Chain A
Amino acid sequence: MSRQASGLKAWVLQRITAIYLGLYLIYLLIHAATGGSSNYDAWRAWVAQPTVSIGLLLFVVALLLHAWVGIRDVLIDYVHPLGIRVLLLSLFATGFIASGLWVVQAIFLARIPG
């Protein structure tokens, strides 16, 4: 997509990620409502299931993309001094990447047998 259409790209991305996040949230809610994972072994075994692992990894990516587009819109609207805006965008980006890697690492560690 061209540079001129980057606003449209963000708009579309926000909606695609929203739909996935909404649907996956319903799935998580159903899992929780039908007993969920009440102890460590059950919780880890659930996360380690291939379908759950992939679903969660996609959830993390979708959530962080969604959060990035959203916080970028808010900061562009309300924070006008360019230096502070760039500083805040950098802080959020760093926080998102760090949180994302933390969760991804936990998912992969849960999948290692033993």
Chain B
Amino acid sequence: MTTRTNRPVYLNLFQIKLPIPGIASIGHRISGVVLILAIPFAAYLFAESLSGPSGFAQAVAVLNRGIIKLIIFLLVWGLLHHLFAGIRYLLLDIHVGIDKESARKSAWGVMIGAALVAIAGAGVLL
């Protein structure tokens, strides 16, 4: 165990006014948690789709329900945001785009890029 220090910790997201990289960052966290909550549902669909021809048809039917399509759109958007923000973090780790101006631009890029690709994907598939 490490020793406890009394340094201040302030994480109230409703009080902090976040800069753009901060918004992209909390989006990375929120999308990560939401994607985690989808894991059991994804496991169910995967197992069901492989259980036999009727299971496959059942899985396809579930995916074609309107409300499920909306949920999947939100999950795909979240996944894209998580992926793009994650790539941004990996680049920051190796000191690519580390200065403030580039970091702000890449944070905008992550947020706009994820939304645009999600909408484009929905346009193609739905």
Q: Could you list which residues of chain A lie within 8 angstroms of chain B, going by C-beta atoms?
A: 15, 18-19, 22, 25, 39-41, 43-44, 47, 63-64, 67, 70-71, 74, 77-78, 92, 95-96, 98-100, 102-103, 105-107, 109-110
Contact B33 A74 (CB under 8 A): yes
Give B residues with C-beta under 8 Å from A. Answer: 11, 29, 32-33, 35-36, 39-40, 42-44, 46-47, 49-53, 55-57, 79, 83, 86-87, 90, 93
> Is there contact, CB below 8 Å, between A70 and B47?
no
The B interface is mostly helix, strand or loop, or mixed, namely helix
Residue of A nearest to B48 (CB): A106
Which of A77, A100, A109 interacts with B50 by CB under 8 Å?
A109
In the complex, chain A residues whose CB is within 8 Å of the CB of B29: 74
12 further contact pairs, Cβ within 8 A, besides A41-B53, A44-B50, A67-B35: A22-B87, A40-B53, A43-B50, A47-B50, A67-B36, A71-B32, A71-B33, A71-B36, A74-B32, A106-B47, A106-B51, A107-B50
